[in-house]
Structure 1
């Protein structure tokens, strides 16, 4: 009989296609499935590893409309405003009123460990076939996937090392490095320990992973370099952020050309992408990543709109304006809608686009910031990197960008400013505010396209002070009920 490999949440299940009526009585129970029967060929390892990539699209990592990571980092911050005509999706995140019982705010905790479990299944069984170059690359990809998911967990459910003086010594996360459905891990004693494990996985991955895997759908050496620049920036190791970020830039220098940038967000160009999670139009995929922002309902009905303060920062010559934002009515009211994830060119399937997990533009910004903060500052190179990015966002054939000349505080502020504009609606803003030890301060504007409306944030919705315990999300109570070894974060 023909056996088809599939992966469920907690087990590998072999599905056996029936070829004759008697075959239905010849199916082995699932309890007899084992790595020995699945991990017999390199091709099967590839299939299982692809399942780990697919797990990034599980609810609600980058899928669904409640708590999806594609919107969470902006809902929690100051880039978006709740639309009163929307469905009030994830209002508790917007109000900073979440509790350990509010699993709907985000399921990142369980979704990330789902990704990790799939990567660990591969890593636990590497010895079942000869360790060829193919298998070495498989190990590198799996370790990078595991590290990425753990990093997303640690920045959400623990402090960020640069956030405060006590952050590195505060409680880390549970770093799970093997597959066991019954495991009840404790959290790392410190954030520093969690970062050390993430970096160890990424460094090992960097040695083993191929340069030629391609960035579209799979990690490769260049994308791992870019991830390392991100992790080291969060850790506050600016020299290492520069070291790996510069290597990444050398390997992939395009920040996404101005002429290609709108098409990048319509899946008609890959220019500037370092790691993309593929999302097919076919019925067995079709993950609605954009539904977190808006739906088609007699026009565009948005859950959240672009905060007018942010909207005014995008100029008429900024290519990000048409790429990210569309001003259109819902009912009789015009709103500024986020359309980064609305549709792909040539497709009739709404809200289904690829997920741009990492772009070269972010690495440029990571390295520029690190140059301004490292022990051996290099503001000349920082400005050069910033101007390279700005030239492809503001410049046109008839009106080229005039390079900026900022220095000192003005230069680091310009880097922060450009980071907000470039990475808006990409799950960056809240975590950047958190790692900088700043407060979230929302504007006084309402949700309408011109900033009008009576729904401007006030009182408790206006400001989340720096150091507030809600910058660290609560460990879901369901997870603690299943594993009493987990400690809840302070304040909850």
Structure 2
């Protein structure tokens, strides 16, 4: 891990020019700071620039960005690894090890997924280490704004690692292993942290988020511009959204309801508006964005794992159970504003996943990624309520979301028990296609992956494994071989030894 971390920090500390744009409207594409920030920051401004480096880390090609048939680890990859997307004939086979669950400790993409969040964590830890050196009575609210974001960023990256590499999500387990929780930048080769049990790891996540809420509740100015088309920084509603997501995984239903409600109150639903909903993906409308990762021209956004935007080539396509070219079957059909926002029908009648094709009609793949938006919060609240004996309220949330998406929707009535939970799960599948959830949703609810009609049909898709049972080892990625070679305390996940 230390070798990986050293290379991450070295790259992120390169000195490059800032873009000529306001931080109120755009994350710095190439934050300007130097290696001096590691040991000798000169000002609060330089500390804030290191924070910009943490945000830049989310644009890593293996985090929310992508390469040609690779990457997008927390954007599109969870759909590739589940049942939402199938590998198309046009594939480059660059992500077949992930799609077919044949990854091993020496698989390159596994190592990349492990290392990408640590670059973000390293920068967040530098900020938290140095911000106090320049905090005064006069700039305390500025310090709160910087420090609060750093705590939230650190929690976000650690949670994303947990989703892939923890083999169980049990919040109270003192035996199931999560990962080490990094709270300071340490480059000393002799430091070899052990993996924490789930309970201790969750406690660390919640402590960081509690600190973020306290700090971001008292700041010098808004973190995101109060108007505009984007929200590229983590503000208080985004922290609430992250809390809601983690509480859902932890099975803390009342807390999930409260956090999701806080986020919803700050960012209301779009009311059946195609332009507002599609605008979240092509940067023509803020819609329900709570926090987005910003990509600009020349940067590779999420699209290129599944759809090569510049030449219209699909490596992975929507499963027929999600949507079809005639829009009359599958979960997303005609009359649902998600259909036009997410897919394009090609000349052969097949669908392409084009939600990240580009901005304002462009086809360069430089589309923003919506990490948190209001639709997810409704579904978190609905599921938490359904699992906490509040089924009528859960159904209200489900109906409210569907009414905001489907023209002429007739509210469902009488759904209870497993039928209600299944309806919510299906709505998550509709609402969050290629937004980093499906594999983890199936994992946290201990369900099998059963791929649909395209799986095994070699005329449509390369042959591959079509099912993954809840007991299979592949639900947790293996700890990379390079990490274990450097740190014997990094225990391997079950059945990979």
TM-score calculated relative to the size of structure 2 = 0.85
Distance 2:10 2:435 in 1: 29
Distance 2:402 2:141 in 1: 40
Structure 1 match to 2:319 = 307
Which structure has the bigger radius of gyration?
A: 1
Q: Does residue 292 of structure 1 match 2:295?
A: no
**Structure 1 residue 180 displacement after superposition:** 1.6
Q: 1:61 to 1:321 in 2, by over 3 A?
A: same
The answer (yes or no) to whether the contact 2:110–2:478 under 8 Å persists in 1 is: no
Structure 1 match to 2:446 = 437
Distance 1:32 1:94 in 2: 38
Distance 1:253 1:337 in 2: 29
Aligned length: 452
TM-align CA RMSD: 2.6
| 1:17-416 matched pairs, under 5 angstroms | 33=36, 37-40=40-43, 42-65=44-67, 66-69=70-73, 70-105=75-110, 107-131=112-136, 132-162=140-170, 169-182=175-188, 184-210=191-217, 212-214=222-224, 216-255=231-270, 257-259=272-274, 260-281=276-297, 283=298, 286-296=299-309, 300-311=312-323, 312-329=330-347, 333-347=348-362, 350-374=364-388, 377-395=389-407, 400-409=408-417, 410-416=419-425
The answer (yes or no) to whether the contact 1:318–1:394 under 8 Å persists in 2 is: yes
The answer (yes or no) to whether the contact 2:270–2:287 under 8 Å persists in 1 is: yes
Distance 1:361 1:353 in 2: 19
**Structure 1 residue 89 displacement after superposition:** 2.2
**Structure 1 residue 53 displacement after superposition:** 0.6
Distance 1:263 1:420 in 2: 20
Q: Does residue 422 of structure 1 match 2:425?
A: no
**Structure 1 residue 340 displacement after superposition:** 1.1
Distance 2:344 2:36 in 1: 51
**Structure 1 residue 135 displacement after superposition:** 0.2
Q: 1:383 to 1:32 in 2, by over 3 A?
A: closer
Deviations 1:391-412 (A, max 9, x none): 11102xxxx4222214213222
Q: 1:95 to 1:56 in 2, by over 3 A?
A: same
Deviations 1:403-426 (A, max 9, x none): 221421322221111010000111
Q: 1:471 to 1:181 in 2, by over 3 A?
A: same
TM-score calculated relative to the size of structure 1 = 0.86
Structure 1 stretches of 5 or more lacking a match? 1-6, 18-29
Q: 1:126 to 1:319 in 2, by over 3 A?
A: same
The answer (yes or no) to whether the contact 2:272–2:406 under 8 Å persists in 1 is: no
The answer (yes or no) to whether the contact 1:256–1:361 under 8 Å persists in 2 is: no
The answer (yes or no) to whether the contact 1:174–1:185 under 8 Å persists in 2 is: no
The answer (yes or no) to whether the contact 1:78–1:441 under 8 Å persists in 2 is: yes
**Structure 1 residue 346 displacement after superposition:** 4.7
The answer (yes or no) to whether the contact 1:256–1:271 under 8 Å persists in 2 is: no
Partner SS for 1:308: coil
Distance 2:64 2:260 in 1: 25
Deviations 1:172-223 (A, max 9, x none): 1011000122364423331121111111101110111158322711111111
Q: 1:295 to 1:15 in 2, by over 3 A?
A: closer
Distance 2:160 2:254 in 1: 22
Deviations 1:21-73 (A, max 9, x none): xxxxxxxxx99835564242x32222111111111011211222313222210
Structure 1 match to 2:227 = none
Partner SS for 2:386: helix
Q: 1:78 to 1:129 in 2, by over 3 A?
A: same
**Structure 1 residue 249 displacement after superposition:** 1.4
